[in-house]
Chain A
Amino acid sequence: MALLKPFSKLPCLNTANILLVESEEQFQQSLADTLVEETAFTVNVRLAKSLPLPMENEESRPRIDLVVFIINLTSELSFQSAEVSLKNLDPGYFLGKVCFMVTNARNASVPTERLDAVRKLAASLHCPMLFAEDQTPDGVTNATERLLTILKVAAGFVPMATALYLSNLTRRTAPPDIEQPSFD
Chain B
Amino acid sequence: MDDSTKRLLQRLIRRIPAQTLRTTLEKWGRLTAAQQRSMDFTQPKWALSEKLLAICEENGLTAKHITELEMTNVIDNPNQGMWYAFQLMDPEDDANSIELTQFKEQFKSHLRELVRPVSIKIKKHTDEAVWIRIAWGDSFSRPNHLKPTYVVHHLQTPYVFVTSLTSKQKPLLSQALVLSARYQAIKDANLSGRKLTAIRDLLMRKYQQVFPTMYPSPLGERNQVVSNPHIEKEQAEPAANRLQMACEAFGDGTLPQLQTVVYKLETKFRDHTNKTMTEREEPFSCVVKFASTNLLESLRHCASSGIASTPVTPLLSSILQKGRNYFVITDNGSGPSTQTRQPQT
CA A101 to CA B305, docked complex, whole Å = 21
Q: Fill in one digit per residue for B195-224: 1 if any A CB lies within 8 Å of its CB, else 0.
A: 000000000000000000000000000001
Among B205-247, those with CB < 8 Å from A are 224, 228, 230-235, 237-239
Q: How far is the CB of A20 from chain B (nearest CB, A)?
A: 10
- Give the CA-CA distance A56 to B234 in the complex, in Å: 9
Establish whether residues B235 and A33, one from each chain, have CB atoms under 8 Å apart when the complex forms: no
Assess the A45–B235 pair: CB atoms within 8 A: no
How many chain B residues touch A (Cβ–Cβ < 8 Å)?
Answer: 14
CA distance A51 to B307 in the complex (A): 16
Cα A77 to Cα B307 in complex, Å, equals 9
A-B pairs under 8 A by CB, number: 45
Q: Which residue of B lies closest to A57 (CB)?
A: B234
Residues of A close to B237: CB separation below 8 A: 54, 56
Residues 34-90 of A at the B interface (beta carbon under 8 Å): 36, 42-50, 53-54, 56-57, 61, 77
Interface presence of B306 (CB below 8 A):
yes
- How far, in angstroms, from A53 to B238 measured CA to CA in the complex? 11
In the complex, how many angstroms separate the beta carbon of B188 from the nearest chain A beta carbon?
38
Most buried by B among A24, A32, A42, A50: A32
Q: Taking chain A's interface residues, is the majority helix, strand, or loop, or is none over half, making it mixed?
A: mixed
Within 8 Å CB of A145, what residues of B?
none
Residues of chain B within 8 A (CB-CB) of A33 are: 228, 231
B229 to chain A minimum Cβ distance, whole angstroms, is 9
Interface assignment of A25: CB less than 8 Å from any CB of chain B: yes
A173 to B281 CA separation, bound complex (whole angstroms)? 56
Bound-state CA distance A44–B307 (Å) is 28
Q: How far is the CB of A56 from the nearest CB of chain B, in Å?
A: 8
Within the complex, which residue of A25, A43, A48, A61 is in contact with B230, where a contact is CB–CB below 8 Å? A43
Does residue A14 face the partner (Cβ distance < 8 Å to B)?
A: no
In the complex the two chains form, is A44's CB within 8 Å of B232's CB?
A: yes
| CB<8 Å pairs between A and B, sample of 5 | A46-B232, A46-B233, A50-B235, A54-B238, A61-B234
